[in-house]
Structures are given as C-alpha cells and as structure tokens.
Structure 1
Amino acid sequence: MEHDDPFASLSDDLLLFIFNKLDTVHLCYIASVCRRWRYVVRQLVKKIHVLLLGKSLKQYFHIPTGRQILSLVRFFSYVEVLSFRNWPWVERFPEVASVVMRGLRSATLKKVDVGGLPVQPGDIWILRDNCPNLCGLKLGGCSTVDDEFVKQSVKRLKPHLKELDISDSTRVTTAAIKFAIENGVIRLKASRCKRISGALVINHVPKGNESRDDEHCLTLTQCKNINWFHLDRNLRFTTINLSQCTSLEYCHIYDNALQNLHLSGCRNLRVVEVASSNLKVANLFSCKQLSEEIIYKLIENCPMLTEINLAGLGFASQVQQWLLENRLMGSLNLG
C-alpha cells in the first residue's frame, strides 16, 4: 500500500468499524489486500461466533466449488457454530457437509449443524481429532443417520459430546436414544422420529461423581408411537418434553432434578407418576384421559409445584378448590 493511500491514515479501530459492515465473503477478499488489512479482518473474524454457510455464499456463487467453500470455512476458523441449514445448492452439491468436515480444523468450534445434508460416519469421527472442543451435533433430517451411526458417533466423540439433535431421522429407534443418554449426552432432541416406539425405559446410573451442572433436557415431541416412558431417579434431567406423543399411555419419572414436565397433547395418557422434589411446572394441556386422583397424587408428590396447566380437563376447577382447601401453592391454567 502506498504512502499517499487515504486508508493509511485510518486507525485500526476505524478500519474495524468499516469492515464490520461487510459480509463474510467480502471479508475474505479484503483480507488479501495487505498485511495490515488481514490483521484487522482477523480481529473481526474472531468476534464472529456463528457461520451460516448457505446464507453467506448464496448471493456470490452460482455453484461454489469444494475448494472455495473449504477456503471460506478455514478463514473463519474461530467460529463456534457452523451451520449448513437451508443449503441453497442441495440438489447439485449435497455432499458439501462431508467435504467441509473432512478438511475442517478448528480449536474453537463447538457445534455443527449438518442441515439435513447426507454425511457419513467417517465425517463425524474425524472431527474428534480436528475439532477437539466439539460438544454439539445437529443431525436432524439426515437420511444416513441410523442407530449404528448414532452409537458410533457418540462413542467416538465422548466425553465432550453433550448435545445431540437427531429429529426427523426416520431410521433411528429407541436403542439409539438410550445409548446416547447412557453415554453422557445431556441435551437430546429426537422429535418426529417414527421408529421410536413401544416402551422407552431409561434406568442407567451414571458412574463416578462427574459434574452435572449444565441444564439437562430430553425432547421427544411428536414421537407418536411411544406407548410407555420410564425414567429412573439418577439421570437428573431438568426438562422433559413429550408433547404431542399421541400414543403415550403411561409416564413414570423418578428424578429429583426434574423441574419442567411438558405432556401437552398426549390425549391417550392415562397414568402420570412423578416423584420430584424440584418439579415447578407441569403442562398437561388436553390430557383428557387423566383422572382427578392422578392429578392429586402428582401435586402431593411434587411439593415445589407452582404451575400446572390443566386446560381441557373437565375437573380443573375442582382441583383448584382442592388446592385452596389444602393451602398448597399452585397456579392453574384452566383454559
């Protein structure tokens, strides 16, 4: 850059302010102008935590090549979240997720969302060495994901893998859910998985005294073929969401860490047995098969319960009167 260049008089902070107005692709271009600009861009890139790959490339490439994509991702090697969601060239370049993950190296990357693109087990396994801090995977909608895929991925990425999303995976069964939970996954989402059916019984006891301070969530919404759900007392899930599981008839949860339970839309639910000293919210909207005795027992077994949604149940007003007579803390949504 010559001395009479007007940009030479600008401070790094002012350049940073100007470059902040540009998108990700243009940042790559201007970083090649000179060493100073590359240094300033690098400072800006370190502040970009989420890279939505499809959105970043859509307006600049007709069909990007694997080399162009990988170059961009490596330039933003400081990102914490990489997403292929809404990839615009899915029909002509569906293997982009595999190409990137096999060549990706990042010490800061924590979460990867494949956006429903097909990936192979080897693409996930290689992340263990190249991205040592990876703790979250979103594989929802991926046609290649099955029980063995999930088991091998969890096994290879443990103990760092804590969050797993396999929603809309048509080949995943109950076995994969149990394996993931029993091997350290604490935030699991498997909504709309048609092959998760029958009885889901989880009674694994965690070994050792590992810290479990993070929020533990289990989401199985719209899994319409689950008939029976059982969770033992040692897994410490704070939130369980089984909404719209229309075939669910029995729900047994013995976990003192449970704080939020969502069972709305489970219209065939007949029995809810919950024993938790910390349960605060119970959503039983439209669970029309539940009896008054079940509700009374639930309230008695959960002394910290402060909000319960009984909208759609004909005896909600009677439960409210019972709460007042027994001086129990509770707020009802009567619909």
Structure 2
Amino acid sequence: MEEDPFAVLSDDLLLFIFNKLDTVHLCYIALVCRRWRYVVGQQVRKVHVLVLGKSLKQYFHIPNGRQILSIVRFFSELEVLSFRNWPWMERFSEVASVVMRELRSTTLKKLDVGGLPVQPIDVWALGYNCPNLYSLKLGGCSTVDDEFVKQCVRRLRPHLKELDISDSTRITTAAVKFAFENGVVRLKASRCKRISGALVINHVPKGNESRDDEHCLTLTQCKNINWFHLDRNLRFATINLSQCTSLEYCHVYDDALQNLHLSGCRNLRVVEVASSSLKVVNLFSCTQLSEEIVYKLIKSCPALTEINLAGLYFASHVQQWLLENRLMNSLKLG
C-alpha cells in the first residue's frame, strides 16, 4: 500500500493549503477523511458570510435541495446567508424555501432570499430553527404582501430589527405601519408602487419598549406617496424619501431625526421639521419649495450643519442670508 503523501504534512500546512480553496471545495474535501474534516473545520469557523449565487454554477449543472442544505449546514458559525443572483431561477427557484424550512442555526443573523419565492410557512420554520435572526431581506419576492409581512414580524419578533421589502408589488402602507408598531427599527420599502396616498406614522412606544436602536426608514422611488407625516417622537435617525415624485407635503416631528433626504421630490411644496438633532437635509431638485419654507426649516433646526439646495433658483439668496446672519461657518450649503 502506498504511503499517504499528506500524512507527513502538519495540520498548519494543510490549513495553509485549504485557505486557497473556495467554500464549495472545502465542503467536498471535508468528506475525504476525519483529519481533513477537522482541519477544514478550523478554517470554516472563520467563514461567517455565504453567498449562494453565481459562484455555484461552476460546480453544479442543476443542484438539488439536499446538496445546497449540506453546503449551508457545513458552516456551523454562519451569520449571513444570501441567495442573491441565484442562477437557477427557472429550474430551482424554491431553493430558499427548502433551506428556510430545514436549516437549524443559532448563529444565523441575516438572511437575504434574493427575490426567490418563499411562503409564510417557511418563515414560521425559520423563526423556530434560527432564533437569533434579526435581519430579513424579502426584496423582489413575488409572494410577499401585507399579510405575509405581518406574519413575518409576529413570528420573528422580538429579535427581528431589519426588514427589506423593496420591489414588492403587493405591499401597501399598512405593512409599513405594522412593521414599525411591532419592533422593526430599520425598514426599506423602495419602489413599492402600492404604497400610496398618505403615510402617517404616529405609533406611541410602550413604556417598557427599548428604543436604543437607530431607526431608519427608506422609501426611495415610491412614486405614489403624496403626504408623509411622522410624529410622537419615534426616534428615527434617518428618513429617506428621495425620488418620491408625487410627494407634496412632509411633516416630521421627531426630536431624534438627524438625516432627512428628499432629493428628487420635484412636487414637494411643504417641509415642516421639528428636531433639535437634525444635521443633514438634502433638498436637491425640490423645485417647488419656496424661500420661506427653507428659511423656516433652518431656523427650526438649531443643530443643522448641511443643507443641499442645488437646483433651487433661490439657493444664492439663502447663501447671502446665511452670511448676513453669520451662520455660514456653522452651516454648509450644498
């Protein structure tokens, strides 16, 4: 019997060699023998992010659920799992659903389904098998609607803090309100055509509810919103309503607000903000705003350090007003 040439190599040297391999190859060589599995295990502990996208195409013609599950389960300390750019969308689009039902991980924190179709029952299994998941990206998923979002939030709370439902054609304003009322602090719902009309968020947090996380709302390119209103001091740090071309009125009464982005809202007529923490305002190409509205905004936000008025005909007048009031050193005019 020929002597195994790898037997003379130390574990450190094997680990150095295995470092040159990608994640899929590591899964295969771990099946060779116990020693190799142990050595690969030392390397795998360092792998916290796994993207099951186009990189798999060189290894599989068409993978099955068992193969994908074996790869995912191999990484015992996985924190981030993504199906973004999945190459077998037509032949094996249910892969995210299969993994969500069968995966069991106490380390998984973030999951991106990559626009693949998933069902509410998948989320129920995920909430039971992955108890520490706090970020879920469902953007582009055709099966997501208001009821789906409500079930996700109910099942995954209180750990779920980040939710991405962008490009969801069936999402309405009700889903946005429900998410914030039930513990989600960072919500992205860009390009959702059915989020329309007036979006009013005035949920009052409960006395024992922790509000230490930074709250962010992103509704860019939601072109059917015409009125946005937020109050009751919900502690939003960032609000981004850029390219909401139908938006006419924006009222924000949140003392924790630091960044407000309204660029490209070409029909915006009124901006009323009451915040002692507001630092940055972007009003690029908000051509319907008047000088009086901008002056009032600057005066009502004492912590303001930067305002972008590019594309507004009266930007030079505001600059002169700032100089006359000796505010130019403390406020940057874009």
Q: Distance in 1 between matches of 2:204 and 2:39?
A: 50
Secondary structure of the residue that 2:250 maps to in structure 1?
strand
2:47 match:
48
Q: Distance in 2 between matches of 1:207 and 1:321?
A: 46
2:89 match:
90
Secondary structure of the residue that 1:286 maps to in structure 2?
coil
**TM-superposed deviation, 1:4:** 4.5
Contact 1:25 1:56 (8 Å CA) reproduced: no
2:216 match:
217
**TM-superposed deviation, 1:17:** 2.0
* CA shift digits 1:178-217 (9 cap, x unpaired): 0001111111000000000000000001112444333221
* CA shift digits 1:230-281 (9 cap, x unpaired): 1114211111100000000000001111111100000000000011111111
What residue identity is the alignment partner of 1:133? N
Q: Distance in 1 between matches of 2:13 and 2:134?
A: 36
1:1-335 equivalences under 5 Å are 4-328=3-327, 329-333=330-334
> Unaligned regions of 5+ residues in structure 1, if any?
none
Q: Distance in 1 between matches of 2:192 and 2:19?
A: 41
**TM-superposed deviation, 1:11:** 2.9
What residue identity is the alignment partner of 2:287? K
Secondary structure of the residue that 2:225 maps to in structure 1?
strand
**TM-superposed deviation, 1:61:** 0.5
Secondary structure of the residue that 1:206 maps to in structure 2?
coil
TM-score (structure 2 length as normaliser): 0.96
What residue identity is the alignment partner of 1:43? Q
What residue identity is the alignment partner of 1:121? P
Contact 1:272 1:298 (8 Å CA) reproduced: yes
Q: Distance in 2 between matches of 1:37 and 1:188?
A: 43
Q: Distance in 2 between matches of 1:21 and 1:249?
A: 55
> Unaligned regions of 5+ residues in structure 2, if any?
none
Contact 1:23 1:56 (8 Å CA) reproduced: no
RMSD: 1.4
* CA shift digits 1:98-136 (9 cap, x unpaired): 111111011110111111111000101111110010001
TM-score (structure 1 length as normaliser): 0.96
Which 4+ stretches in 1 moved above 4 angstroms?
A: none
**TM-superposed deviation, 1:67:** 1.0
Contact 2:203 2:232 (8 Å CA) reproduced: no
Contact 2:168 2:192 (8 Å CA) reproduced: yes
The share of aligned pairs that are identical, in percent, is 85
Contact 1:24 1:56 (8 Å CA) reproduced: no
**TM-superposed deviation, 1:285:** 0.1
**TM-superposed deviation, 1:320:** 0.9
**TM-superposed deviation, 1:327:** 2.1
Secondary structure of the residue that 2:50 maps to in structure 1?
strand
Q: Distance in 2 between matches of 1:29 and 1:39?
A: 13
**TM-superposed deviation, 1:29:** 1.1
Contact 1:77 1:105 (8 Å CA) reproduced: no
Secondary structure of the residue that 1:238 maps to in structure 2?
strand
Q: Distance in 1 between matches of 2:208 and 2:228?
A: 26
Q: Distance in 1 between matches of 2:108 and 2:37?
A: 21
Secondary structure of the residue that 2:127 maps to in structure 1?
helix
What residue identity is the alignment partner of 1:34? C
Contact 1:258 1:276 (8 Å CA) reproduced: yes
